[in-house]
Structure 1
Amino acid sequence: MTMHTGGCHCGNVRLAFSTELDASQIEVRACQCSFCIRHGSRAVADPNGRLIISVKDDALLQKYQFGLRTADYLICRDCGVYVAAIAGEDDAIARDDARAIVIINALDDRERFNQAPVLVDFDAESRAQRQARRRTHWTPVEMNFGWFLFSG
């Protein structure tokens, strides 16, 4: 597996995205919801990969929800960078079966993900459809608070 690391600008949130997919071949998605458009979001996921999100100070981690409230959009309160979205029932971050997308703009090697973004719009999905799609297409995720598993 290849590991792609990154995080927010100030370093409070660190990412480690592991995948066997080649970065130049992985599908990049540009969600067309109002939140993602305003952030210029380009996201990737691999259901066979792994995303580790390490947070030094969780008081500086903003979890934002909107619409159907089926995901936590993670934004650093200190520097304002949107790094990932985590989906799951109830408190997604606390669940063992949580799934995530990683925002490639937050990765150190973002230029390697060079496919033209596929514009996607999920507004017509029901809550159940959205949760099912994320369970099968998003990346398994692990959250670590108060320390980093890696340096980068």
Structure 2
Amino acid sequence: MTVHSGGCHCGNIRLSFSSALDPAGMEIRACRCSFCTRHGSRAAADANGHLTISVEDKARLQVYRFGLRTADYLLCRECGVYVAAIAGDGAEARAIVIVNALDDREQFSREPIPIRYDAESREQRLARRRSAWMPVNIEIEGI
């Protein structure tokens, strides 16, 4: 496994994305929803990998939900960087990492695939995320 580190601009949120996949060949998705389009999002996940999200100050973590309300989109309130999305809770939680928030983002060089998920039902969306997104842990300092 290779560990790809990253996080938000101010350092409040840190990422550790572990994957055995070559970042140059990894599928990168460019969701075409209004939120992801406005953020220029390039998302990646490895169902056999793992994402750890470490938060220094929970008060500076913004969790945003919209649409079908099936995922939490994580942003830093201090610097505004969108770092990841999480669906589910506890051991069932799955996530995508935002490639632009990784320190070695230039290694993820595959052209993003523009995708629209508008036609999915709530159940279809949750099932896709359970199968394609990766396990995630969130560590919040002081908790």
Normalization by structure 2: what TM-score?
0.98
Aligned residue among 111, 123, 127 for 2:122: 127
- Equivalent AA in structure 2 for residue 82 of structure 1: Y
Q: Distance in 1 between matches of 2:58 and 2:118?
A: 30
Residue in structure 1 matched with residue 57 of structure 2 by the alignment: 57
Q: Distance in 1 between matches of 2:122 and 2:112?
A: 25
Residue in structure 2 matched with residue 96 of structure 1 by the alignment: 91
Residue in structure 1 matched with residue 8 of structure 2 by the alignment: 8
Give 1:85 shift.
0.2
- Equivalent AA in structure 1 for residue 32 of structure 2: Q
After the TM superposition, which segments of 4 or more aligned residues of structure 1 sit over 4 Å from their partners?
A: none
- Equivalent AA in structure 2 for residue 121 of structure 1: R
Residue in structure 2 matched with residue 110 of structure 1 by the alignment: 105
Q: Distance in 1 between matches of 2:136 and 2:15?
A: 10
String of CA shifts for 1:25-80, please: whole Å, max 9, x gaps. Answer: 10000000000000000000000000000000011000000000000000000000
- Equivalent AA in structure 1 for residue 87 of structure 2: A
Residue in structure 1 matched with residue 81 of structure 2 by the alignment: 81
Q: Distance in 2 between matches of 1:125 and 1:59?
A: 33
Q: Distance in 2 between matches of 1:39 and 1:139?
A: 21
Q: Distance in 2 between matches of 1:5 and 1:33?
A: 26
* Percent of matched pairs sharing the same residue: 65
- Equivalent AA in structure 1 for residue 56 of structure 2: K
Does residue 1:33 correspond to 2:33, yes or no? yes
Give 1:115 shift.
0.3
- Structure 2: give runs of 5+ residues left out of the alignment: none
Q: Distance in 2 between matches of 1:61 and 1:123?
A: 27
Paired residues, number:
142
Normalization by structure 1: what TM-score?
0.92
Once superposed, what is the RMSD of the aligned Cα atoms?
Answer: 0.7
